[in-house]
Amino acid sequence: MGPYHALMVHFPVAFWTAAAVILVVRALSNGPLARAFDRVLVPFLVLGVVTGVIAYAIGLMVWPPDTLQTTPLGRNHMMAATWSLFYWTAVLVLRWWAGERVWDGLVNRLIMLGLGALGAGLLTITGTLGGHLHGAPTFLSDILREMGWEVYATFYFPSWMFIIQAIVAVAMLAIAMLARRAPASTPSREAER
């Protein structure tokens, strides 16, 4: 099953990487190309979550959780994969629930920009740890080591990761509540921008 997991993870990685790019482009632009990208954002997020669940399930068949949790690298990969799956699911729910209102105003755009950047970073870390498990380490491990996270020895994410996660959770709740209160965008309002 290992090769199937290695093959399957490329699908959520591709969809979520594209989604991160779309979030960044749309947050920085209101042009026709950015709007076209935004129209495929929700389908990409849905496909990413569906293929992510499949890849996660296959990964659990390859490495049972009790086996993964006996090594720091395995535990970190499992935590990062779980966070990635829940993170991108939360971004999907936010974008679906709030609709195009997530792009109204500078604050919302900055939050969405941050969500795209953080999601790309989390996805990169998850993939790096998975690559280590498959025997293909990358240079990103050296960067993580410089930031205080030794992927082969640290049995947990460093404290700064929890701070970032807390900030993101609060930001996502804030944008969802603000977008829920704001009236929906109308084509005439969008044309004025």
Instruction: Please report, for the chain, the start and end positions of each structural domain, with discontinuous segments joined by +.
Output: 2-192
User: Residues 100, 103, 109, CA angle at the centre, nearest 5°?
Assistant: 155
Poorest-pLDDT segment among 29-43, 127-141, 158-172: 158-172
CB-hemisphere CA count at 13 Å for 86? Answer: 10
CA distance 30 to 46: 23
What is the per-residue pLDDT for 188?
44
Provide the whole-model pTM: 0.76
Position with higher pLDDT, 179 vs 157 = 179
Question: At residue 66, does pLDDT exceed 90?
Answer: no
* Residue 119: closest CA among 50, 48, 20, 53: 20
CA distance 49 to 45: 6
Highest mean pLDDT among 31-45, 70-84, 163-177 belongs to: 31-45
The answer to whether 89 and 83 are in contact (CB under 8 A) is no
